[in-house]
Amino acid sequence: MTKGVPLDFARTGNVLLVSSLLLMFVVGFLETPDVALRLFPERFWNEEAQRIESRAVSARMMLARAEATLEALRLMEKRGLPRLGSAPEPGRAAWESALKRAEAELLYRKAVMEEMTDSLRRNRRNADAARRRSGL
């Protein structure tokens, strides 16, 4: 503490609070998609591509699970279901229904995967175009 200049901690705290809130507002404003796209187009598109790639990995895992389920159902249909005590064996309609559901899920997962792949390609093209416009 310097001589003759008393420190007002309450005022300093208020100034720090207001300045930190203002900084958070500015950072939040810069992170909105429209502003980020205009100020940092390459970074925006790269982040968007990373987000889509992570969703694509998740979709691939779901697709692999759906394919494994479908294959397991087909094998069980060929070999028959092992007897589990007094549990009734499913009829032909139950097998067909399970196969149709698994096939529908597989088609859905493939469609999601194709949509994400197309979106990823678009985002990469946009990032490349932004890089060319910025002269990098």
Residues 30 and 82 grouped into a single domain: no
Q: How many domains does the chain have?
A: 2
Report the predicted TM-score, pTM, of the whole model to 2 decimal places. 0.45
**Is 19 among the domain residues?**
yes
Residues 19 and 52 grouped into a single domain: no
Q: Is 59 exposed, middle or buried (0-12, 13-18, 19+ CB in 10 A)?
A: buried
**Is 99 among the domain residues?**
yes
Residue 82, SS3 per DSSP: coil
Residue-by-residue pLDDT tens, the chain, 136 positions: 456 666 677 778 888 888 998 998 888 887 787 777 777 777 777 787 788 888 888 878 888 888 888 787 777 777 766 555 555 666 767 777 877 888 888 888 888 888 888 888 888 788 788 778 876 5
